[in-house]
């Protein structure tokens, strides 16, 4: 089935970049966001802003969701007069939100009953990767639906592996972000140790990045957003707190004992006053203070 018109629901930092990339790569893109104030920026990116969510859900050949919470995804999927009532064609929903596997599987089953499909396809790469079409996507769902959505996935990403059945993409993303959350804490502490012992973080990080302690935090985030004191990655601390919470809920549901991760989760939860939810999440690794905040 040809996909010509893609509807993007949620046009924030990530959604707008993905929508603009899809438009640049030849798709007709229609978009909806709950915040009408974004309309000028949306239209400047070559996207047709549609003020009625139901209109987007009924017109698109495929849909991309970029929403904050699982309940937001559910509200869009089940919107009255929207996708569940369509019978003209099969629509594949590519949900790039970070959600919980249980909600994804339940919504995927409802969409399948209505003749549609849901792929959980959370992303890594930030707003710059969304704008440049270089995201990494972690895709869960059936192989047949993955193949149907391949043109859209390829347009938005540099890598979009099919990792397993419905919910598998969410699992991988939560595992990934739990590691990121921990690495921000441990790398920040390691650099604080270096500074306290008399070696600058700038010099220490150069060596770490040629040795076994390196990670994406030390190689990318420290030079770009932490050492530079810019803290403008585009990903909010509140979103990382949400992802860590989801990861720990998944651990509890799965019976996995994660004592170190539980401590990391506690650190993220108890630093909200020092690092507000609206602050950039990279502030957690600020080695210049004892609590990760400026």
Active site residues: 173
Question: Which candidate, 96, 144, 139, places its Cα nearest to that of 116?
Answer: 144
């Amino acid at each position: 089935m040809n996909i010509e018109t893609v509807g993007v629901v949620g046009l924030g930092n990530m959604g707008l970049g993905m929508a603009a990339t899809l438009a640049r790569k030849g798709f007709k893109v229609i978009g909806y966001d709950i915040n009408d104030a974004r309309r000028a920026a949306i239209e400047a990116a070559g996207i047709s802003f549609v003020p009625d969510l139901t209109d987007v859900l009924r017109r698109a050949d495929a849909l991309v969701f970029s929403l904050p919470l699982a309940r937001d995804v559910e509200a869009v999927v089940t919107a009255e007069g929207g996708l569940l009532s369509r019978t003209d064609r099969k629509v594949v929903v590519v949900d790039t939100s970070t959600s919980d596997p249980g909600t994804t599987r339940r919504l995927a089953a409802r969409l399948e009953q209505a003749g549609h499909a849901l792929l959980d396809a959370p992303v890594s790469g930030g707003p710059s990767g969304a704008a440049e079409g270089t995201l990494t996507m972690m895709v869960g769902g059936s192989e047949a639906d993955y193949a149907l959505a391949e043109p859209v996935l390829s347009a938005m990403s540099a890598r979009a592996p099919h990792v397993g059945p419905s919910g598998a993409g969410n699992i991988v993303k939560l595992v990934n972000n739990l590691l990121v959350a921990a690495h921000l804490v441990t790398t920040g502490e390691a650099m604080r140790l270096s500074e306290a012992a008399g070696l600058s973080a700038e010099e220490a990080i150069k060596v770490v990045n040629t040795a076994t302690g390196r990670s994406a935090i030390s190689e990318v985030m420290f030079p770009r957003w932490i050492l530079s004191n810019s803290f403008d990655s585009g990903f909010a601390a509140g979103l990382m707190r949400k992802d860590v919470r989801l990861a720990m809920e998944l651990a509890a549901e799965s019976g996995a004992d994660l004592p170190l991760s539980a401590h990391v989760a506690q650190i993220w939860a108890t630093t909200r006053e020092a690092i507000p939810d609206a602050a950039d999440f990279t502030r957690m690794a600020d080695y210049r203070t004892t609590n990760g905040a400026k």
